[in-house]
Amino acid sequence: MLYYLFKYLDELNVPGAGVFQYITFRTLLALVVSLIISMVLGKRIINLLRRMQVGETVRDLGLEGQLKKQGTPTMGGLMILAAIVIPTLLFARLENVYIILMLVTTIGLGFLGFMDDYIKVFKKNKEGLQGKFKIVGQVGIGLIVGAVLFYNEHVVVAKPVKTEELITKNSKPEFVNEKSMTTTIPFMKNNELDYGKAVEFLGLDAGKWAWIIFIPVVIIIVTAVSNGANLTDGIDGLAGGSSAIIGTTLGILAYLSGNYYFADYLNIMYLPNIGELVIFMGAFVGACIGFLWYNAYPAQVFMGDTGSLSLGGIIAVFAIAIRKELLIPIICGIFLVENLSVILQVSYFKYTKKKFGEGKRIFLMSPLHHHYQKAGIHEAKIVTRFWIVGIILAVCAIATLKLR
């Protein structure tokens, strides 16, 4: 909203109003305001949750210090959602289709997580929202995202002229304004994956029928990453800190992909209008860091599914929008490992029980962070080490821009 106000003031030649036209300036403002909102509102929300007796119900899993967390306020994801949505509404261009899509994802998955927390806390049902309804909600968001990205005319890939030609012509870049279902393949130069090729193989028109492949892929990614973030939210600060690292990485990639000159220099896919997403990601990172103020060990509040489902969904949709979904296994390596640890643990237990009559386990406990807790490592050390691994993975993801 403030973007439009300052744009109007700039047209009136008000000194300094033009600074709001810069994405970097608005991103910094979104980051700072998000931090302020999450930290200022945080204490009030925690006190409100305590008065309403919205506390975490902890099952005794034999983990050190676990029972001490009994009654800690949950549903703290509400402060994360507020710290993301408010700065985005203030500083982003609200007619941008990507911004609208991210806001829909944030609110939609936030509401889904809120319903799960509400049933657990107020209905005293430890199972929360039934798994099938949770999956339906995630699939629904994935369907909306996939359809919008496929059918909206703003989703184009421009093929600009080379920088030296641009300088010679002394003109603005010329873009091929066409819809494209291509995405970046990590570690490979001048080689992109086109979802439309799969339907062309079947004899169908890629321009019309690529959605048959693209939309299911989007649904799978949104569901997997949001569940991965949900599983990662098991010890103080792990999900919030990991999400901040992932968000920073995606923000850098979005800025480079949305800037013609950087995209041309790095020889990466240029996506017009995608740069506006950097402002949203600034708010996202600020919200995660601000939440850590209260969620770092020992936690004063937990984000609950209200926060974890929305964080994972935001990361998934953002990566798909900037055409970096194939980098998710690297960028979201922490989420991936947490997911895999649960899948392997359950699958191996069922297999050995069926074959030998007694179930065996690969890990002491899953998800993976609980395995290290069972091994006697303090949760603060586990979180710090996971963050370090997350930073290493983030560096690797950014390095793929040149390692091709």
Ordered by start, the domain boundaries in the chain are: 2-399
Residues of the chain with pLDDT > 90, as a percent, come to 54
Is 182 strand, coil or helix? Answer: strand
pLDDT confidence of residue 155: 42
Instruction: Give the DSSP letter string of 85-134.
Output: HHHHHHHS-TT-HHHHHHHHHHHHHHHHHHHHHHHHHTS--TT-S-HHHH
Check whether 14 has a pLDDT greater than 60. Answer: yes
Task: Provide the pLDDT for residue 156.
Answer: 46
Q: What angle do CA 155, 161, 162 make, to 5 degrees?
A: 125
What was the pLDDT predicted at 32? 96
Instruction: Look at residues 368, 374, 349 and name the one whose alpha carbon lies nearest to residue 360.
Output: 349
253 vs 184: CA distance, rounded Å? 12
Q: Which of 156, 303, 142 is nearest to 214 (CA)?
A: 142
Question: What distances in angstroms separate CA 392 from CA 226, 314, 388, one per listed residue?
Answer: 22, 21, 6
What is the reported pLDDT for 24? 92
Cis status of the peptide bond prior to 367, with omega within 30 of 0: yes
Query: Measuring CA to CA, which residue among 84, 87, 74 is closest to residue 108?
Result: 84
What's the confidence (pLDDT) of residue 334?
A: 96
163-214 pLDDT, tens digit per residue, is: 555 445 455 555 555 667 788 888 877 777 888 888 887 777 777 788 888 9
Mean pLDDT of 38-45: 88
Closest CA to 160 of 283, 257, 27: 257
Q: Is the dihedral of CA 358, 364, 365, 366 positive or negative?
A: negative
Buried-state track 285-322, b at ≥16 Cβ within 10 A, e below 16? bbbbbbbbebbebebbbbbbbbbbbbbbbbbbbbbbbb
pLDDT tens by residue, 218-267: 999 999 999 999 999 989 999 999 999 999 999 999 999 988 888 888 88
Amino acid at 174: E
Q: What is the pLDDT of residue 176?
A: 56
Range 267-295 average pLDDT: 92
Provide the 10 A C-beta neighbour count for residue 10. 16
Residues 6+ apart with CB under 8 A from 248: 281, 285, 394
Instruction: Please tell me the predicted confidence (pLDDT) of residue 10.
Output: 76
- What is the rounded distance in angstroms from the CA atom of residue 78 to the CA atom of residue 394? 27
Tens digits of residue pLDDT in 105-121: 999 999 999 999 889 88
Q: Would you tell me the crossing angle of helices 277-295 and 23-51 to the nearest 10 degrees?
A: 40
Q: Residue 178, exposed/middle/buried by CB under 10 A (0-12, 13-18, 19+)? A: exposed
Residue 311's pLDDT is 96
Global pTM value? 0.91
DSSP 60: -
Q: List, as one string, the DSSP characters of 278-301.
A: HHHHHHHHHHHHHHHHHHSSSPS-
CA distances from 186 to 85, 225, 318, 319, 396 (A): 31, 19, 17, 13, 10
Query: Band of the pLDDT at 154, cuts 50, 70, 90?
Result: very low
What does the pLDDT read at residue 189? 75
Q: 49 is written with which tokens?
A: 């949750």
Burial of 167 (0-12, 13-18, 19+ CB in 10 A): exposed
